[in-house]
Structure 1
Amino acid sequence: MSIHRRLASQSTVIFGARLGGAGLVFLVQAIIARVWGADVLGEYLLVIATVNLIAVMMPLGFQTVGTYFAAEYRARGERKQFIAFLMRAYGHVLGIFLLVLLLGPTILSALGQGDSVLAAHFVPVAMLALGTALVYLNAAVLVGLKRPFAGYFADTMFRPMMVMAALLFSLTFSVAAEGFSAMLWLIAFGYVIIAAVHVGFVVKSTDRVPDTSEVRVHEARRWWRFALPWVLISLATDFFFDIDLLLLSHALSREELAIFGVCTRIFSLMSFGVAAVYAVTMPDMFESEANADRAAFKRKVGDANFVASLISVALFVFIVIAAPFALMLFGPSFAVGAAPLAVLCLALVIRSAMGPASLVLSIHDRPYASLPFVGLGIGSLVIGNWLLVPSLGLMGAALSAIIAITVWSVGLWWIALRTAKMDVSILQWFRSRRAGIVAAS
Structure 2
Amino acid sequence: MSIVRRLASKSAIMFGMRVGGAGFIFIVQAAIARVWGAEALGDYLLVIASANLLAVVMPLGFQTVGTYFAAEYRANGEGRHLRRFLLRAYGHVVAIGVAITLFGWPVTFLMGAPGEHLLALWVPTSLVAVSTALTFISCTILVGLKRPLAGYVPDMVFRPMLLISAFAIIAGVAQGPELEAMLWLFSAFMVGLVLVHFGLVVHAAKQVPAQDDLRPHEARKWWRFAAPWVLITLASDYFFDINLLLLAGLLDRTDLAIFGVSTRIFALVSFGVVAVYAMTLPDMFEADANDDRRAFEKRVGEANFVATLLAASLFIGVLLFGRYLLMLFGEEFSAGAVPMSILCLALVVRAMFGPASLVLSIHDKPAASLPSVALGIIALVIGNFVLVPGYGLMGAAISALIAISLWSVSLWLTAWRHAKVDVSIFNRFRIAPAG
TM range (shorter): over 0.9
Contact 2:109/2:116 (<8 A) preserved: no
Correspondence list, 1:13-412, <5 A:
13-109=13-109, 116-177=116-177, 179-412=178-411
Residues 115, 323 of structure 1: CA spacing in aligned structure 2 closer, same or farther, 3 A cutoff? closer
C-alpha separation in 1, matches of 2:336 and 2:300: 34
The Cα shift of 1:123 comes to 1.5
Please give the alpha-carbon distance, in whole angstroms, between the structure 2 residues aligned to 1:351 and 1:105. 35
**One-letter amino acid of the counterpart of residue 363, structure 1:** I
Structure-2 separation of matches of 1:160 and 1:102: 27
Contact 1:288 1:294 in 2 (8 A): yes
SS in 1 for 2:62: coil
Retained in 2: the 8 A contact 1:113–1:119? no
Contact 1:70/1:82 (8 A) holds in 2: yes
Looking at structure 1, the residues matched to 321 and 364 of structure 2 have their Cα atoms a distance apart, in angstroms, of: 42
User: What CA distance in whole angstroms lies between the structure 1 residues aligned with 2:5 and 2:239?
Assistant: 31
Q: Does 1:430 align with 2:433?
A: no
- 1:176 shift after superposition: 2.7
Distance in 1 between residues matched to 2:29 and 2:425, nearest whole Å:
36
Once the two structures are TM-superposed, the CA of residue 419 in structure 1 deviates from its matched residue by: 1.1
Q: What is the identity, as a one-letter code, of the residue corresponding to 1:37?
A: G
Deviation per CA, 1:165-206, whole angstroms, max 9, x where unpaired?
A: 1111111244433x2221111111111221121111111111
Q: CA 1:239–1:391 in structure 2 vs 1: closer, same or farther (change >3 Å)?
A: same
CA contact (8 A) 1:139 1:151 kept: yes
Range that drifts further, 96-105 or 123-132: 96-105
Structure 1 position 6, deviation (Å): 0.6
Aligned structure 1 segments of 4 or more residues deviating by more than 4 angstroms: 109-115
The answer to whether the Cα contact below 8 Å between 1:93 and 1:133 also exists between their aligned partners in 2 is yes
C-alpha separation in 2, matches of 1:102 and 1:257: 28
TM (norm. structure 2) is 0.97
- Contact persistence 1:384–1:400 (CA under 8 A): yes
For residues 260 and 319 of structure 2, the distance between their equivalents in structure 1, rounded to whole angstroms, comes to 18
How many residues of Structure 1 are paired with residues of Structure 2 in the alignment? 434
The one-character-per-residue Cα deviations of 1:86-135 (angstroms, maximum 9, x if unpaired) are: 11111111110121123113343466679722211221111101100001
Aligned partners of 1:250, 1:338: CA distance in 2, in Å? 22
Structure 2 stretches lacking a partner, 5+ long: none
8 Å contact 1:145–1:208 — kept in the other structure? no
For residue 229 of structure 2, give the secondary structure of its aligned residue in structure 1: helix
Question: Which amino acid letter does the alignment assign opposite residue 294 of structure 1?
Answer: R
Q: Is the 8 A contact 2:272 2:310 kept in 1?
A: yes
Instruction: Give yes or no for contact 2:101–2:127 (8 Å, CA) kept in 1.
Output: no
**Partner amino acid, structure 2, of 1:376:** L
Aligned to 2:3: 3
Change (3 A) 1:62 1:75: same
Kept in 1: contact 2:25–2:164 (CA 8 A): yes
Cα distance in 2, alignment partners of residues 128 and 290 from structure 1:
38
Contact 1:302 1:429 in 2 (8 A): yes
In the alignment, residue 45 of structure 1 is paired with which amino acid?
L
Contact 1:4 1:303 in 2 (8 A): yes
Q: 2:287 touches 2:293 (CA, 8 Å); kept in 1?
A: yes
Letter in 1 for 2:8: A
Question: Aligned letter for 2:337?
Answer: A
Question: What is the CA–CA distance in structure 1 between the aligned matches of 2:108 and 2:316, rounded to whole Å?
Answer: 42
Give 1:140's aligned amino acid. Answer: T
The one-letter code matched in structure 2 to 1:199 is: F
Letter in 1 for 2:416: L
Q: What residue ranges of structure 1 are gaps of 5+ in the alignment?
A: none
- In structure 2, distance between residues paired with 1:389 and 1:103: 33
1:185–1:393 distance in 2 versus 1, CA, 3 Å: same
Whole-angstrom CA distance in 2 between matches of 1:89 and 1:264: 29
Cα contact 1:128–1:192 (8 A) shared by 2 = no
* Per-residue deviation, residues 259-309 of structure 1 (Å, max 9, x unmatched): 000000000000001112122221111122223222221111111111111
Contact 2:415 2:423 survives alignment (8 Å): yes
Counterpart residue identity of residue 50, structure 1:
S
Find the aligned partners of 1:112 and 1:321 in 2 and give their Cα distance: 38
* Aligned residues of 2:65 and 2:229 also touching (Cα < 8 A): yes
Is the Cα–Cα contact under 8 Å of residues 62 and 137 in structure 1 kept in the other structure? yes
Equivalent residues of 1:39, 1:255 under 8 A apart: yes
Which moved further from structure 2: 335-344 or 201-210?
201-210
The separation in 2 between residues aligned to 1:22 and 1:279, in whole angstroms, is: 20
